[in-house]
Amino acid sequence: MAWNAFKLCTALRALGYIMVLVVLAIVGLTYYAVVLANYLPAILGGGLSAVIAFPLLILFHILLVMLLWSYFNVVLTDPGVVPPNWRPANDEEGGDRAPLVGSDQSTLVSDPANQKVRFCRKCNHFKPPRCHHCSVCGRCILKMDHHCVWVVNCVGALNYKYFLLFLFYTFLETTLVTLSLFKYFMAFFTEEEVIGTLGTVAASFITFVLNFAFALSVFGFMIMHLSLVASNTTTIEAYEKKATPKWQYDLGRKKNFEQVFGTDKWYWFIPAYSEEDLRRIPALQGIDYPTRPELNALQPL
């Protein structure tokens, strides 16, 4: 009996929801180790320790709120679905803007003059520029970057900003936790007395190791994605771009950045868009067609 890889991918999506629980469990352990086991008792004890612990806990909670806000926006936001019955008017992927020949679907797909007109045989519809089929989600995703098991969702046109902010705040939070628990970690390797019960000591040790590992890995991942944003390239397109002399979607670093984060600077570090940017999301993302019913009246930049 032959394996059906695509059915296996669909099954993996169902199992992937466990990763949400894993993320929440790590957040819960970190909260216990930093707040309940160490720094809240330091505040209640008073003295110099309280002066240091108070601003640290404020910063910890601010970063935690931003991290979770960004995370659940990535999880819950549709990355971008192909509009129903969408069909190209031009060979946009080829960049020549030449009208397509014929109106019959089979003619468009088989016509040698239109080889660059993309059609998804799994979804049975045309694929807009920069659109790719995700075998895990079982559908085509606009400006697909990759399917992320940690967020149980594809990262695409409409949630890429939230994904990048999730990486950013995860890096800041894990770095802060690593620094704040460093002295408790080093106490294991010195003669210094370790304060606390066996449970709190073990929680502090494990939390330090986990957050240190995440800080290092997320930093590398974040740098990679920032370089992709600078050139207006997705992870998938990074391989396609190697065979292209000039990348047609590269508009310059400033405009490339605005396509993802919007034009309002006050919203760049918030997992949301301003009302003005929300009305112009397709243009900001380099998409010249509406991606949701409520965006039908969008005007280009």
Catalytic residues: 148
What DSSP letter does each residue of the chain carry, written as one string?
----HHHHHHHHHHHHTHHHHHHHHHHHHHHIIIIIIIIHHHHHH-SHHHHHHHHHHHHHHHHHHHHHHHHHHHHHS---BPPTT---SB-TTTTS-PBPS-SSHHHHHH-GGGTTS-EETTTTEE--TT-EEETTTTEEETT--EEETTTTEEE-TTTHHHHHHHHHHHHHHHHHHHHHTHHHHHGGGSSSPPPS-HHHHHHHHHHHHHHHHHHHHHHHHHHHHHHHHHTT--TTHHHHHTT-SS-TT---HHHHHHHHH-S-GGGTTSSS--HHHHTTHHHHTT--S-SSGGGTT----
Unique residue bearing structure tokens 């918030």? 270
Give the Cα separation of 130 and 289 in Å (integer).
13
> Both tokens of residue 29?
């352990």
